[in-house]
Structure 1
Amino acid sequence: MNKHVEYNPEGVCARKIEFDLEDGKLHNVHFTGGCPGNLAAIGKLIEGQEAEKIAGILKGNLCRGKNTSCADQLAKAIEENK
């Protein structure tokens, strides 16, 4: 299954998260807005990885006292688009 996902995160600096799901693996992860260096690094680190595994790792990571983070929002986007 191949799918392109565009997700509008809530409660974080990033305004959009985009990625492709190909046979359950993440590709082309891109954040619009947010901390560009850190978010680009996340995309590189998770390229080609199993989406469900990555969602499990990133889910619940918080940013500066918020109830979420860009990584947590990516996990939510993955879970909503399995």
Structure 2
Amino acid sequence: MQHFEYKPRGVCPARISFDMEGEIVHNVSFLGGCDGNLQAISRVVEGMSVSQIEGYFKGISCGGKGTSCSDQLAAAVRAACESQKA
């Protein structure tokens, strides 16, 4: 299992941390942001694949920002997945 840290853009959390085993995501946590909502997202995505997370969360916008915490999570896990292939 490999650990990743991602600095999201355009949202409240300062960092998204997670582990990946192949394309399966575990132990997601956010530093900052709406604690209750982000705890819920973290629990929901536990054990999901990168593709599943993208399917549910990619493209969601919050407050007209063009992105959201969940959209940034989708970007983070995709970037991590691609970095493992390199």
**How high is the TM-score relative to the length of structure 1?**
0.93
1:23 Cα deviation after fit: 2.7
Which has a greater percent of strand? 1
Partner of 1:58: 57
Q: Alignment identity in percent? A: 49
User: Which consecutive residues of structure 2, in runs of 5 or more, have no partner in the other structure?
Assistant: 82-86
> Match for residue 80 of structure 2?
81
1:11 aligns with 2:15: no
- Contiguous gaps of at least 5 residues in structure 1: none
Deviation of the 1:49 alpha carbon: 1.2
Greater share of residues in helix: 2
- Matched to 1:49, the amino acid is M
Q: Taking structure 2 as the reference length, what is the TM-score of the superposition?
A: 0.89
Q: CA deviation at 1:78?
A: 1.0
Aligned-residue CA RMSD (Å): 0.9
| Aligned-pair CA distance for 1:30 | 0.1
Q: What number of residue pairs does the alignment pair up? A: 81
